[in-house]
């Protein structure tokens, strides 16, 4: 009997040892998946108003689209004696001098002469050209001419085929010495400009043209200072200024980076532009 106990005890010890060394079937549940929503940046609002704003700046409603609009510059003929340049454009998918179909419902100034080309030389106030061929004075030295198709109410057609950038040189010193327009983010001022009559609408169009940036992917913004009020624009759209009193007003547009600094470039600070809002 004792001999059997002596043989059994080692066997039981082995069984106990094996049982203790067997991995437990109970496992700790895996941790919940990481919350990645906090790393996704929130979409920036189109407009950020100053705290004490008296005016309103809102995104203009979607305008009539011209997806097939195309503007090309066939010929440029500089006259070095008169410092005048002849431009010969070709327009497709867009009718110059026609009224844009939604012009009557926009509530802003509209050209009775219809759709046209906005011609901007060296970021000066634009010329509205209603024919595809026209002449314009140039400056001595390097010139930068931006031309884009415009609806009859002066809102730019923001299609990549509906814009032409042309650089050329004229005799004399001066001109644009900085900036590579083929790659540098660049802001061109367009509207407001000139005189507005209240009878033509109570909304003032604010519009600009961008090259080599669309604001969003670069984290850039446009700082719009309107009558001293500083607004931040985060999307390349057309905007309406509302709530203006009659009289003279000012607008300044600046292309800025995420730190609020003006992006380097000869046109990225428009300087102060003046316009008038008249009763009649």
What count of residues does the chain have? 280
Q: Is a pLDDT exceeding 60 seen at residue 152?
A: yes
Report the pLDDT value the prediction gives residue 18, as an integer from 0 to 100.
Answer: 44
CA distances from 31 to 24, 35, 39, 112, 269 (A): 19, 11, 19, 68, 52
CA distances from 59 to 103, 163, 234, 238, 242 (A): 16, 22, 11, 6, 11
- Locate the domains of the chain by residue range: 47-278
Report the pLDDT value the prediction gives residue 178, as an integer from 0 to 100.
Answer: 74
Q: What average pLDDT does range 92-114 have in this prediction? A: 97
CA distances from 221 to 25, 179, 210, 234, 252 (A): 58, 19, 11, 5, 13
Q: Considering the chain, what is the average pLDDT of its residues?
A: 89
Q: What average pLDDT does range 191-202 have in this prediction? A: 94
Report the pLDDT value the prediction gives residue 20, as an integer from 0 to 100.
Answer: 43
Report the pLDDT value the prediction gives residue 19, as an integer from 0 to 100.
Answer: 44
Q: How far apart are CA 172 and CA 55, in angstroms?
A: 44
Half-sphere exposure in the Cβ direction for 67 (13 Å, CA): 0
Q: Considering only CA atoms, which of 72, 167, 81 is closest in space to residue 121?
A: 167
């Amino acid at each position: 009997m004792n001999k059997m106990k002596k043989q059994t005890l080692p066997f039981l010890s082995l069984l106990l040892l094996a049982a203790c060394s067997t991995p437990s079937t109970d496992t700790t549940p895996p941790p919940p998946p990481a919350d990645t929503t906090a790393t996704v940046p929130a979409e920036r609002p189109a407009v950020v108003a100053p705290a004490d704003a008296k005016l309103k700046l809102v995104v203009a409603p979607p305008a009539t689209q011209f997806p097939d609009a195309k503007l090309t510059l066939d010929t440029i003929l500089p006259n070095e004696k008169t410092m005048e340049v002849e431009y010969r454009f070709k327009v497709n998918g867009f009718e110059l001098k026609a009224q844009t179909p939604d012009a009557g419902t926009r509530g802003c100034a509209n050209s009775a002469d219809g759709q046209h080309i906005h011609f901007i030389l060296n970021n000066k106030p634009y010329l509205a050209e209603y024919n595809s061929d026209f002449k314009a004075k140039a400056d001595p030295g390097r010139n930068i001419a931006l031309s884009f198709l415009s609806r009859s109410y002066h809102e730019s057609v923001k299609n990549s085929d509906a814009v032409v950038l042309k650089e050329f040189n004229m005799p004399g010193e001066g001109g644009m010495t900085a900036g590579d327009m083929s790659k540098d983010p660049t802001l061109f001022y367009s509207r407001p400009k000139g005189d507005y009559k209240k009878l033509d609408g109570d909304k003032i169009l604010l519009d600009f043209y961008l090259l080599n940036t669309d604001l969003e992917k670069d984290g850039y913004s446009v700082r719009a200072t309107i009558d001293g009020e500083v607004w931040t624009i985060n999307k390349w759209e057309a905007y309406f200024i509302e709530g203006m009193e009659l009289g003279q007003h000012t607008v300044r547009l600046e292309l800025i980076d995420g730190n609020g600094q003006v992006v380097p470039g000869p046109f990225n600070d428009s300087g102060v532009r003046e316009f008038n809002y008249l009763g009649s």
